[in-house]
Copies of this chain bind each other. A is one copy, B any other.
Amino acid sequence: MYSSPVGINKVKITDEFWAERVDTVREKVIPYQWEILNDRVADAEPSYCMHNFIAAGDLNQKKQREGDGFAEPVYTFRGFQALPDDPDAPEPDRFYGFVFQDSDFSKWIEAVGYSLMVHPDEELERIADGAIDIVCRAQAENGYLDTYYILNGMDKIFTNLRDHHELYCLGHLIEGAAAYYEGTGKDRLLKAACRFADFVCEKFGPGDRLHGYPGHEIAEMALFKLYEITGEEKYKALASYFIDERGAEPSYFNIEHKDDPGGDTTNLYYHQAHLPVRKQTEATGHAVRAVYLYSGMADMARLTGDEELKNACERLWDSIVDEKLYITGGIGGTHLGEAFSFPYDLPNDTAYSETCAAIGLVFFAHRMLRMEPDRKYSDIMELSLYNTVMAGMAIDGQSFFYVNPLEVDPTACKRDERKLHVKPVRQKWFGCACCPPNIARTTMSIARYAYTISDNETSDAMRNIAQKSCADRAAGNLLATDKTLFVHLYMSSEITLDDGAAHDPENKIFININSDIIRTSEVTVSITKPEKSSFVMAFRIPGWCRDHFSVNGTDGEEYSDSIRSGYLYIPITKSEETLRLKFEIEPVFMESADEVSENAGRVTLMRGPFVYCVEECDNGKALHELAVDTAGGIRIYNEDLSEKDDHDTSSDKADDVRIKRVFERSIRLVTGGRRVTARGEKMPGSKLYHIYEKPEETKTDIIWIPYYLWANRGEGEMRVYLANHSAL
* Residues of chain A having any CB pair with chain B under 8 Å: 321-323, 325, 327, 334, 336-337, 341-342, 345, 350, 375-377, 379-380, 409, 411-412, 415-418, 543-544, 546, 566, 588-597, 600-601, 603, 622, 624-625, 627, 630, 674, 676-678, 680-681, 683-692, 694-695, 697, 723-728
Contact = CB atoms under 8 A, between A and B. Distances in A.
13 contacts: A321-B685, A334-B417, A341-B416, A345-B412, A376-B684, A379-B686, A589-B692, A590-B690, A591-B678, A591-B690, A674-B728, A697-B728, A723-B728
A25 B380 CA distance: 58
A543 B689 CA distance: 12
A545 to B, nearest CB: 10
A686 B624 CA distance: 27
Contact of A593 (B379, B601, B678, B692): B678
Contacts of A411: 342
Contact of A685 (B336, B379, B685, B692): B379
B728 A676 contact: yes
B601 A723 contact: yes
Contact of A692 (B375, B591, B622, B697): B591
Given A417-B336, A728-B676, A685 B591 contact: no
A interface secondary structure, majority: mixed
Contacts of A595: 622
Contacts of A686: 321-322, 325, 379-380, 543
Contacts of A694: 630, 726-727
Contact of A342 (B416, B543, B690): B416
Contacts of A544: 683
A79 B345 CA distance: 36
Given A345-B416, A416-B334, A687-B322, A601 B589 contact: no
A391 to B, nearest CB: 17
A350 B591 CA distance: 24
A132 to B, nearest CB: 40
A600 B600 CA distance: 13
A418 B415 contact: no
Contacts of A601: 601, 627, 676, 723
Contacts of A415: 341-342, 345
A596 B593 CA distance: 26
The 7 closest A-B pairs by CB, nearest first: A725-B728, A376-B685, A597-B624, A342-B415, A543-B684, A589-B692, A600-B624
Given A334-B416, A336-B417, A692-B588, A685 B543 contact: yes
Contacts of A409: 597
Contact of A727 (B334, B336, B596, B676): B676
A588 B409 CA distance: 31
Contacts of A724: 692
Contact of A350 (B418, B597, B625, B627): B418
A25 to B, nearest CB: 28
Contacts of A677: 594
A543 B683 contact: yes
A327 B627 contact: no
A103 to B, nearest CB: 27
A345 B697 CA distance: 24
A546 B692 CA distance: 14
A688 B380 contact: no
Given A546-B681, A592-B678, 4 more contacts: A323-B688, A375-B684, A588-B692, A591-B689
Contacts of A418: 334, 336, 350, 418
A683 B611 CA distance: 13
Contacts of A345: 412, 415-416
Given A345-B415, A409-B597, A416-B342, A327 B689 contact: yes
A566 B327 contact: no
Given A544-B683, A684-B376, A727 B594 contact: no
A170 B518 CA distance: 70
Contacts of A697: 728
A678 B592 CA distance: 8
Contacts of A334: 416-418
